[in-house]
Structure formats: C-alpha cells, structure tokens
Copies of this chain bind each other. A is one copy, B any other.
Amino acid sequence: MAGNSIGQCFRLTTFGESHGKALGCIIDGIPPGLSITESDLQKELNRRRPGNSDFVTSRKELDQIKILSGVFNGVTTGTSIGLIIKNTNHRPQDYDNIKNIFRPGHADYTYEQKYGIRDYRGGGRSSARETVMRVSAGAIAKKYLREKLGVKIHGCITQIGNIKCEIKDLDIVEKNPFFCPDPNKINLLNKLLFDLKKESDSIGAKVTIIVNYPPTGIGEPVFDRLDADLAHALMSINAVKGVEIGDGFNVINLKGSKSRDELTRKGFTSNHSGGILGGISSGQQIILHIAIKATSSIGVPIRTINNNGEEIEIITKGRHDTCAGIRSVPIAEAMVAIVLMDHCMRYRAQCGDITTNLISLK
C-alpha cells in the first residue's frame, strides 16, 4: 500500500529505481515565498554524490536536478514542487548475472516475496540511489528552516568500525572525505578504509545529527512525537539499524537522579534528553545518533539461493561503498530537516505563530 510519502503538512513523495529512466519527487505543502534555485539543491546532492572519495562507489552520476514546477521567478508559489534527476550512468547489463539471485543482505529476497516480481537492476527501488530525492527535498526544508526560522542542522560521522570520533570541530566536517568532526581521527579512518578496500570488505558507521536553535514546542503527542517521527524518518534510510535520541541506550544504566536535566533561570544545565521531552522539543540542542550497517555488496564470497531455490556462491561485483555510512550523513540531515519542517508547520496549524518559540530569535 502507498508508502512512498513522508510528512503531513510538508509532504515528500518519491519514485524511481537505481537503473530506471529517472528518479523524482513531489514536495507538497511548501510555504510560498521561499527563494529556491536548482543550485541550492545541487549543492546538497553533491555532498551525497558517489565519486567523492576513494571509498564510495565509482558510479559516475552527475545527479543533475531539475525543478519542474512550484517555483516561479525563483520563488516558491505554494503549489507542489516536482523534481527530477535522470539516470545517465546506468549499466543494467552489470546486473544480468544476478537477475535470478538473491544477494544476501539486500532486499532482493523480500521484494520478490512481497511483490512476486522485481526490478533486479542494482536493487531497483530498494537501492540507496532513491535517497537523491530525500536529499533534494531536504535541501528545501533546510533552507526554509535556516532562512526563516534560524534552525541549523549538522551531521557528522562519530564512529567507523572501532574508531570513535569526537565532535571537536564541525567546521572541518565538509573538508574531509569522511564528514569527520575529529581532526585526530582522519588519518586513522583513511587507513581503516584503505585496508578494508584491499580486503574487498566493508564496515559499519555511526552518524550523529545535531540541531541547533530548534523552536520549542514542536512535536505532536501522543504518537507523532518529534522523537518518534525522527526515529521513523531515520530508520527509513537504507541500512540504518538503530536510532538514539540524547543519551540513547546509555540510559539503561543511568539512575533517575542522573538522567534528568536540571532547569535553572538560565536554562537547562545538561541535555540527557537530547532536546525532546514528552515528544516535544524543549528548545535545547536536538541530538540524534544512528547506526548504519556495512554494505553487503562486497568482494567476499557468500552462499545464497536463486529464484529456483538452488544454492549458489556469489561475489557481488558492481560499484559499491567501503563505508556506506559516510554518504548517509547528508541523507540523515535531509530526513531530520524534513521532519522538523513538517513539525514546524504542524505546530503552526494548531498553535499559531512559531517565531515566538525560536531560541535563535529570542
């Protein structure tokens, strides 16, 4: 059943397969009056784009975004925005050999079980290529949040394999191929990934998203809590296996006296909650972590079955990332932006003017 949409007030709907003619989306509900150009979107797409380093797929896609509607004279009109990216470097023939084979760790088997038919070329709809439209829509949401509400979203890698990165300097995130915020770890990451590439293997990662200056009061009890909707959006990204808000799984071993945040005249003195209380933003920094599993398409052989149930050993060729988690950074930022945008609008529907709830403007 229809599951290719996300958001209530700000709603993104997407289409497109890895090796189909094009990928596209419709963004519905955008407020009128926002300046938007294709280069605003392209900039975010380039951050996600394959070919940015040695450790991501070598597939060369320009990912050239076209705005087809909803923007007139450079400004949103309030009507639905259609976006499209044509696939140019698709090589469906690369996938003829896996036509009848279920690649372990991929969705081949489950798509076949669900639909009885599947576009096997590069995973079809299940490919992470689908995320270009998340990033594109996210670029619009990010721009609105930044320009109109002063909200800023930062993503970075905080762990790859056993190398943990501290958030020491967000300014360097865009200046290294790992979106790493820890200058001391860049060489280590480089070595780790270089070694893995030699082994034809891959590795998992942890991505952290920080939202600075979120408005207070967004999030809709009791089911559409802000944290619940963020968890939904982040878990919907390919290969994500865990989501945390604030202290996350560390709360298991924390006493109540240590896991609540003291309130003073000057504000909160700690942020165990990650900026959300009872599903509603407190105005503190929102802090989220996600775990992304290693790419399953690697040069290491594994046993599987084909459409006829026969066993076979495969090595997944093709062009794949050594650490897919890296490119998840702009995707996760985009999903957070989409959810925040939606919730700012949902707040406005019920409670009116949101600018009075902006920390950044106070």
CB <8 Å contact, A311 and B265: yes
Interface residue stretch chosen among A42-50, A52-60, A180-188, A270-278 = A270-278
Q: What residue of chain B has the Cβ atom nearest to residue A238's Cβ? A: B278
Inside 8 A of A15's CB, which chain B residues have their CB? Answer: 26, 68-70, 79-82
Say how many copies of this protein the assembly contains. Answer: 4
B1 adjacent to A346 (CB under 8 Å): yes
B203 touching A1 by the CB < 8 A rule? no
Q: What is the minimal beta-carbon distance from A218 to any residue of chain B, in angstroms?
A: 8
CA A118 – CA B78 in complex, angstroms?
9
Q: Is A98 positioned at the interface, with any CB of B under 8 Å from its CB?
A: no
Q: A252–B159 contact, CB under 8 A?
A: yes
**B-side contacts of A231, CB under 8 Å:** 228, 231-232, 234-235, 243
- Residue on B with the closest CB to A78? B115
A126 within 8 Å of B (CB atoms): yes
Please report the C-alpha to C-alpha distance between residue A78 and residue B262 in the assembled complex, in whole angstroms: 26
The chain B residue with its CB closest to the CB of A355 is: B352
Measured CA separation A72–B109 after assembly (Å):
17
Q: Can you list 14 contacts pairing A with B, beta carbon distance less than 8 Å?
A: A3-B225, A9-B349, A24-B69, A110-B276, A113-B282, A123-B278, A125-B221, A203-B254, A223-B233, A228-B236, A236-B279, A256-B294, A256-B298, A265-B305
Pick the contact of A130: B1, B119, B222 (CB < 8 A). B222
Contacts of A258 on B, CB cut-off 8 Å?
A: 294
Query: Could you tell me if B251 and A294 are in contact, using CB atoms closer than 8 angstroms?
Result: yes
A275-318 interface code vs B (CB 8 A; 1 in, 0 out): 01111111100000001111111101011110001110000000
Would you call A244 and B245 a contact (CB within 8 A)?
A: no
A124 at the interface (CB under 8 A from B): yes
Q: Quick one: closest B residue to A224, CB to CB?
A: B3
Task: Assess the B296–A259 pair: CB atoms within 8 A.
Answer: yes
Q: Does A156 contact B (CB under 8 A)?
A: no
B232–A241 CB distance below 8 A: no
The A interface, classified by DSSP as helix, strand, loop or mixed, is mixed
- Tell which of B72, B162, B272 touches A117, judged by Cβ atoms closer than 8 Å: B72
Let me know if A22 is at the binding interface, CB within 8 A: yes
B235 close to A243 (CB less than 8 A): yes
CA–CA, A68 to B232, complex, Å?
27
- Report the count of interface residues on A (CB-CB < 8 A): 157
| Contact bitstring A109-151, B, C-beta under 8 A = 1, else 0 | 1110111111100011110001000000000000000000000
Contact with B along A58-85 (1 / 0, CB 8 A): 0000000010111010010111111010
Q: Are A220 and B2 closer than 8 Å at their CB atoms? A: yes
Q: Which residue of B lies closest to A127 (CB)?
A: B278
Decide if A255 is an interface residue (CB 8 Å cutoff): yes
**Interface membership of chain A positions 324-351, coded 1 if the CB is closer than 8 angstroms to chain B and 0 otherwise:** 0100000000000000000001111111
Do the beta carbons of A203 and B249 come within 8 Å of each other?
no
Smallest Cβ-Cβ distance to A247: which chain B residue? B241
Choose one: B20, B81, B217, B291; the contact of A249 (CB below 8 Å).
Answer: B291
Q: How long is the Cα–Cα vector from A201 to B291 in the complex, in angstroms?
A: 31
Flag if B8 contacts A28 (CB, 8 Å). Answer: no
- Given the complex, which residues of B lie within 8 Å of A349, measured CB to CB? 1, 9, 29, 345-346, 348-349
Look across to chain B and name the residue whose beta carbon is closest to the beta carbon of A324.
B256
Contact A259 B348 (CB under 8 A): no
B348 and A348 form a contact (CB under 8 A): yes
